[in-house]
Every structure is written in C-alpha cells, then in structure tokens.
Amino acid sequence: MSAIDDLPPLRAVIAAHGLSARKSMGQNFLLDLNLTSKIARSAGKLSDHDVLEIGPGPGGLTRGLLAEGARRVVAIEKDRRCLPALEEIAAAYPGRLDIIEGDALGIDTAALLRPPVRVVANLPYNVGTELLTRWLDPPQWPPFWDSLTLMFQREVAERIVATPGTKAYGRLSVLASWRTDARIVLDLPPEAFTPPPKVRSAVVHFARLDTPRYPAEAKVLFAVVAKAFGQRRKMLRAALKGYAPDIEQKIMAAGLKPTARAEEISVEAFCALARQLEGRGPA
C-alpha cells in the first residue's frame, strides 16, 4: 500500500510485471508518488476535467492524477508490457481510467476526451517536442485542451519560457508565448527518475489564451519564425532573403530594423512582420 492509494508501491509493481526500463521507449520512470501527486497538483483543479496522459508507463503519474481527483484519465501507452499494471490502477478507480495502447503520434486524442481537458505527461523525450508543436499549432484555436503540464529536459524547458535577447530564445519560445502563458513549475534532478537520465528535467505548465496574444496567421508566423531562427546569427534581411520579393521593405514596414537578429525580436514584432507578409498591415 502507498501513501496516496491502496495500490502497491511502484517498485513492487515494476518487479511484479517485469518492467525493466527501455531506452528505446524513452523510459525514465517516476517512482515517488508524493512527487507524481505534486506534478498532478501543478496542473490545476482536475475534478471537473478529463486528463490526457501520454506515456503512463507503470502508472506513477496516473495514480497521482487519480488520487488528486481527476474526473477521468485517458492514458496512451506504446509499450504493451505496461498494460497489466495500468489495468490494476483502472480496477482501483472504476470508470475513471481508460487505457489506450498505441503511439500517441498516430492517435486522434481530442476525439477520446470530453471537455474541459487538461494534458499532463512525463513525456518520452524523443516525442516531446513533436507533440508540443502539434498541441500549440492545431488546425483551430482554441484547441481541445485548457492547459498542458509537461516534463521536458531542463534545457528545453528554458527554451520554451525564454524571453527575447537571451540565448535560449527561439522558435519554441515564440510558439509557446504567442498562444499560452508558459512557466516552469517544478525542477527535478536526474535522481528523481529510475533510471536517472543524464540531464536535469523541469515541468512546464502552459495555460492557453482564448485568442493569440497578437493577431497573425499561424502558418505565416511560424514559417517566418522558423526561417529567421534557422540562421539566428544572421541579420534579418539576410536570414529572410528570398522569402518575399520586397522583404526588406516589409521588415521596415513592420517597424523592425533589417539589421536586427532573430533573437532580439519580440513575439509582438514577429506578429507585425507576419501581418506584413500576409499583406494585412498594422493590427
């Protein structure tokens, strides 16, 4: 029995089901249920939300989410070895845990959830950035989720919350800050995981904005931001050369200096530039 529920401690679950961690699946498990409950609490109130969890593994975070009162958890796990352990959790919380075996990158998760929805996950690092990009750039805004509470390598978390003028500021920072309030809510040393990864980790909480912070067309904004940061040391006029026939005029019409570099340009200014490229002019 553990401190948060009547189920066995996670080390016993892992031993009973032979869940040795596999590097190929990005498996670094959290075995401290006080810590997983803390992560669950950092997501905000859960009792009136469906929660989407990607990669539940042996279920430490899943148990934290359920113990903290999640209305329902939908958990998607690629490693079928974990399913019997997850079924035991589902039996302890009748009607509140749905387990889906599969690759989160290939599943239409929104269709499985009843709003309002929070996404909470200790993501496999190899798919983390791809999933985040999809969640931040869905076909329609607002998206199916109210908040994302996600584990990243500390260095990636710092890039997400970085502000202009810093080395960490880049494509992910603009993407996150345009449509969400993103902040680091927890910092974790390697020893928090089994097996310990090489680097520190951090949990980032993203609260979505109902409308993006500044007007711009997502497709144009993300394309220009990707191009500008693709050559971040170059001046904007060089980095965006060939992007549009009169790019230097458009940069100036957006109120920017053609000699500025991507890492100095605020989200607001990138949006002004995107509007120029759409031909919309000032907001």
Positions that interact with ligand SAM (CB under 6 A) = 25-30, 54-57, 60-61, 76-79, 82, 103-105, 122, 124, 127
Mapped onto helix, strand or coil, the DSSP state of residue 80 is helix
Tell me the residue number closest to ligand SAM, measured at CB.
55
In contact, 261 and 234? CB cutoff 8 Å:
yes
- Closer CB to ligand SAM, 134 or 167, in the complex: 134
Provide the minimum distance between the beta carbon of 265 and ligand SAM in the complex, in angstroms, as a whole number: 34
Provide the minimum distance between the beta carbon of 26 and ligand SAM in the complex, in angstroms, as a whole number: 5
Q: Report d(CA 144, CA 113) in Å as an integer.
A: 9
Provide the minimum distance between the beta carbon of 51 and ligand SAM in the complex, in angstroms, as a whole number: 12
- Closer CB to ligand SAM, 2 or 231, in the complex: 2
Provide the minimum distance between the beta carbon of 111 and ligand SAM in the complex, in angstroms, as a whole number: 16
- Closer CB to ligand SAM, 29 or 169, in the complex: 29
In the chain the first and final C-alpha atoms are separated, in Å, by 58
Provide the minimum distance between the beta carbon of 19 and ligand SAM in the complex, in angstroms, as a whole number: 9
- 171-179 vs 218-230: helix crossing angle, rounded to 10: 150
In contact, 54 and 73? CB cutoff 8 Å:
no
User: What single letter denotes the amino acid at residue 194?
Assistant: T
- Closer CB to ligand SAM, 154 or 261, in the complex: 154
Question: Cβ–Cβ contacts within 10 Å for residue 281, how many?
Answer: 10
The CA-CA-CA angle for residues 274, 280, 283, to 5°, reads: 80
- Closer CB to ligand SAM, 56 or 143, in the complex: 56
